[in-house]
C-alpha cells in the first residue's frame, strides 16, 4: 500500500509541475495567413490553386498590397517560392504605382522573338514602320516595360499575330501607339 502511495504522489507531483509550467508559459503568438507561391513561377503565369500555399506571419510583418484572392490573376513578373502575392506582382493598376501620368498599355509586338528579349523594368522607345516602305516614326520614348506575359497556349483564333507586352506609356502616347499597333509594324529599341 505504501509503495502505491509513493508512486501516486510522484505522478501527481509530475502532473502539477507540467501544469505549472503550462500556466506560466506565454500564450501562442498571433499570426496572419498570407498566400505565397508554392513553387517558382515565371512571369505570365495564370495563378491556379496549386501554385499557392499559405504561410503564417507575425502581424505587422506582412507586405503591403497583398492580393486576397489571386487565383486566376496573371503574374507580371516572376515569383519565387515563398514570396507573397502582392498587387505589384500581378497585372493590374498597381503596376504603374509611383509613376505619375503613366498608363499600363498592352502592346502586341509582331515579332515574338523581339518581345522575348524584354524584361520588366527595361526602358524602350516604341517605333512604327510603314509596311509600304515609308519612314519609321518614334511613337513613344523611354516607355517602361511593366510585364512580358508568357505566350498563352489558349490563344484566341481571331487574335493578331505576335506577342503581347505591357508598357507604361504617357497618357498622351496611348492613342497613337494603339492605332499604330493595328496598321503599322511596331518595334522597340532600348533607350537610356
What's the CA gap between 45 and 61, in Å, rounded? 26
| Dihedrals phi, psi of 6, to nearest 5 degrees | -65, -40
CATH number at residue 46: 3.90.1210.10
Cell of 54: 499559405
Could you tell me if residue 6 is inside a domain?
Answer: no
Domain annotation covers residue 13? no
Would you give the distance in Å from CA 110 to the centre of its chain?
25
What CA–CA distance (Å, rounded) separates 124 from 118?
Answer: 9
pTM of the model: 0.65
- Spatial contact of 142 and 125, defined as CB atoms under 8 Å apart: yes
**Same domain? 85 vs 103:** no
- Number of compact structural domains in the chain: 2
Residue 134 sits in which domain range?
Answer: 93-190
Reading the chain (192 residues) residue by residue, the pLDDT tens digits are 556 777 777 787 888 887 777 777 677 788 889 999 999 988 778 899 999 999 999 888 889 989 889 898 888 778 899 999 998 888 777 777 777 788 888 899 988 889 889 988 889 999 999 888 888 899 999 998 888 887 765 555 556 678 889 898 998 999 999 888 888 889 999 886
Torsion of CA 103, 106, 109, 110, to 10 degrees: -140
Do residues 36 and 75 both lie within one domain? Answer: yes
Distance separating alpha carbons of residues 153 and 163, to the nearest angstrom: 12
Can you give the pLDDT at residue 127? 93
- Same domain assignment for residues 142 and 114: yes
Q: Which of 163, 143, 147 is nearest to 155 (CA)?
A: 163
Q: What residues contact 87, with CB distance under 8 A and at least 6 apart? A: 65, 66, 67, 94
Amino acid at each position: 500500500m505504501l509503495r502505491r502511495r509513493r508512486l501516486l504522489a510522484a505522478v501527481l507531483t509530475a502532473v502539477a509541475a507540467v501544469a505549472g509550467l503550462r500556466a506560466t508559459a506565454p500564450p501562442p503568438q498571433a499570426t496572419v495567413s498570407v498566400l505565397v507561391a508554392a513553387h517558382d513561377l515565371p512571369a505570365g503565369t495564370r495563378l491556379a490553386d496549386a501554385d499557392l500555399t499559405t504561410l503564417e506571419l507575425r502581424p505587422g510583418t506582412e507586405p503591403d498590397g497583398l492580393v486576397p484572392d489571386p487565383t486566376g490573376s496573371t503574374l507580371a513578373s516572376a515569383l519565387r517560392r515563398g514570396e507573397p502575392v502582392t498587387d505589384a506582382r500581378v497585372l493590374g493598376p498597381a503596376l504603374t504605382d509611383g509613376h505619375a501620368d503613366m498608363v499600363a498599355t498592352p502592346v502586341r509586338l509582331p515579332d515574338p522573338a523581339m518581345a522575348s528579349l524584354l524584361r520588366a523594368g527595361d526602358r524602350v522607345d516604341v517605333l512604327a514602320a510603314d509596311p509600304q516602305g515609308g519612314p519609321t516614326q518614334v511613337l513613344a520614348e523611354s516607355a517602361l516595360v511593366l510585364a512580358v506575359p508568357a505566350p498563352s497556349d489558349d490563344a484566341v483564333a481571331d487574335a493578331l499575330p505576335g506577342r503581347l507586352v505591357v508598357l507604361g506609356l504617357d497618357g498622351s502616347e496611348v492613342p497613337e501607339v494603339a492605332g499604330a499597333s493595328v496598321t503599322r509594324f511596331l518595334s522597340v529599341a532600348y533607350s537610356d
